[in-house]
Amino acid sequence: MRQSFLLLSICCLFAGCSQPADSGNAKSGSPAPSSTQSTSPVPTKSAEPTDAVATVLGQPVKRSDCRSPSLGIESEEVGIYALVFRLLMDDFSKSQSVTLSQEEIDAFWKGLRAGAQRANPGQPAPEPVFDEAAVRGRLKQAQDNLAAADLPLLERLTLKAQIAGLERALELKSPAAMAAYEHLLPLRLEAALYKKYGGKVVARQISLQAAGAMHKLAEEAQDSGKLVFHDEALKQAFWKRLNDDLAHTEVPPERVDFSLPAWMQGLAQLPPGAAATTSAPALAAGDPGMHESFAGVWHTTSTMKPCQWFPDGANFTVREVTEPVMNGKYLLGREISTPDGEERLWIMTYDAKQKTYPFWMFNSTGLMGGQWLLTWDAATSTATGRATDTPAGWTSLATNRFPDGNTNIVDVWMKDENGKLLLDSHAEKVRQPAEAAAAILADWSKSEPSAERPAELQVLEGLVGTWDAVVISKPAVWTPKETKTTATWQREWILNGRFLLATRTVGNETSQLSLFSYDPQSRDYRYWSFTPDGSPSQARGGWSAAEQSFVFQSEPRDGKTMTMSARLVSDDQHEWQLSVLDDDGTKYLDMAVTTTRKK
């Protein structure tokens, strides 16, 4: 889920400013109510049993029903969203004649194979063979699991969907049909939902989501009494997730296309020989002038003009070091602001598919990965950006203009849905000698844990230190053969103890940067991961003191969900599990990691 009210500190990347002291929720995460932003409908009273947290289509839902081991969902706050929409979409599908013709299956398979061949020319691409024995084995396992007593409702529905898909696969006996039903059928249903309700369609990295239509479906269900919440916290979690979905980048109506998965549309447009992983970070593949302009050591003077957030204006100075990391696939920026002493970390990459530069900002007051998108005009040496986390109706613009190699002129403004000017800043960034970097980084690294940080962060203390890791990748779709590798993890507190930074190295090369934190507003743990060979990802999770374990889960993306767990076996040994599954339970990644503390 994206943060929806965390924009002011992100502007610091452009303008070198700090948050106003009275910005309140602007640094913590939940969308602030506005005249145009959807808010949670008022729940209807019900005489359901006291152990029911909701009633959906007349069916009482218990708290335990919001869990699904098959999907890796162990949090009720995550599961309530998945369960409600599973039931509502199943009900909606009854009014739709959604199916696939053989012509559609053949066209999909032909396009998929052709796109893969264009991405990997010259490589043999034998036709996959249908493995009936393997499918029957998976079907029996799913049926046995469904026969177990006292299964949560979400787990039962998940297993039934898996069984239906596997039975269809045995009937069709075709890899082409299996792939088409897996990827196209959900799109056909989403297209039908969009056709009926309209609304905002948002971009979700490599997929599209009819977020506005989903919101209207849920509102309609609640207004008609088909959806009733009896638990206030879970109601808020459900509607917050929907509102967060609406905060994603909107796809213009003329570009909305549910005929093929978004990732496949991009694959079909690849020129011969282009990399198949177009959604993966590739900052080094962007314009070199962009990289050279932003990288370096900077001193910024920033003026905040009188506006809603700064009625009397304000002045700040910022020291900054920005450098390429992970073979140039990312730019990593570290900043210190004066006079407030705020520290920041931001990370930017290049999206070759969208030809944009997305980045994430974190700071010492609790900014949780707020996001902007930039484009680069090489002719004018100007980067233009806009916030992607704002509430509905908000507008923003940030420009970084490089008149020469040593100067960056930055202007940023932001308005709310009524056109009120919230932020108006002007800054000048002057390049400093490279030798100045050491002192800035030393000061940036000196931060001590703040007394105001959430107490829940204390449990992350057990992850701090240097660790040797043994990684077993078990057979799965993305890793057909089992492999064993080793790596080293270094984890340390940064940004006044608000975030735990984890750096993975293999040999002498950094192969991953991750951040852990705790969000006091959503009351869950947060996780972000940046790797040179995969899309940036984020997940939410919880901590079980009884089991001494964390469980994190990502948002579904292109029908797949990542689940990561960590069990603290002892002070010096931890066991990690990482998996990626689709809605039918197919494992695309199955990884086990044992980490041992270096002495």
DSSP 139: H
Label residue 47 by pLDDT band (50, 70, 90).
Answer: very low
Contact (CB, 8 A) for 115 and 263: no
Residue 222 has pLDDT above 90, yes or no: yes
Of 317-321, 416-420, 440-444, 576-580, the least confident: 440-444
**pLDDT, tens digit (0-9, with 9 covering 90-100), for 500-515:** 999 998 876 778 899 9
DSSP 474: -
Instruction: Indicate the burial class of 418 (C-beta count within 10 angstroms; 0-12, 13-18, 19 or more).
Output: exposed
Rounded to the nearest 5°, which phi and psi values hold at 328? 80, 10
Between 329 and 275, the more confident residue is: 329
Label residue 221 by pLDDT band (50, 70, 90).
Answer: very high
Label residue 203 by pLDDT band (50, 70, 90).
Answer: low
Helix, strand, coil share of the chain (percent; to 5) = 30, 35, 35
Residue 488 CA to residue 504 CA, distance in Å, equals 6
Cα angle 299, 302, 305 (rounded to 5 degrees) comes to 175
- Ordered structural domains, the chain, with CATH: 7-29+277-443 (2.40.128.20), 52-246 (no CATH), 452-597 (2.40.128.20)
Contact (CB, 8 A) for 465 and 597: yes
Residue 14 has pLDDT above 90, yes or no: no
DSSP 18: -
pLDDT of residue 413: 92
pLDDT of residue 45: 38
Of 75-84, 86-95, 309-318, the least confident: 75-84
Average pLDDT over residues 455-471: 93
Tell me the pairing of strands 524-531 and 509-519: antiparallel
Average pLDDT over residues 233-258: 82
pLDDT of residue 565: 92
Residue 444 CA to residue 333 CA, distance in Å, equals 11
Task: Report pTM.
Answer: 0.57
Of 238-247, 257-266, 278-287, 463-472, the least confident: 278-287
Q: How far is CA 562 from CA 73, 225, 559, 575, in A?
A: 10, 33, 10, 17
Residue 388, Ramachandran bin (φ over 0: left; ψ between -120 and 50: alpha; else beta)? alpha
DSSP conformation letters of 151-191:
--HHHHHHHHHHHHHHHHHHHH--HHHHHHHHHHHHHHHHH
Between 97 and 300, the more confident residue is: 300
Helix (H, G, I), strand (E, B) or coil at 505: strand
Strand order in the sheet with 59-62: 59-62, 52-56, 227-229
Residue 24 has pLDDT above 50, yes or no: no
The fraction of the chain above a pLDDT of 90, given in percent, is: 33
Residue 126 has pLDDT above 60, yes or no: no
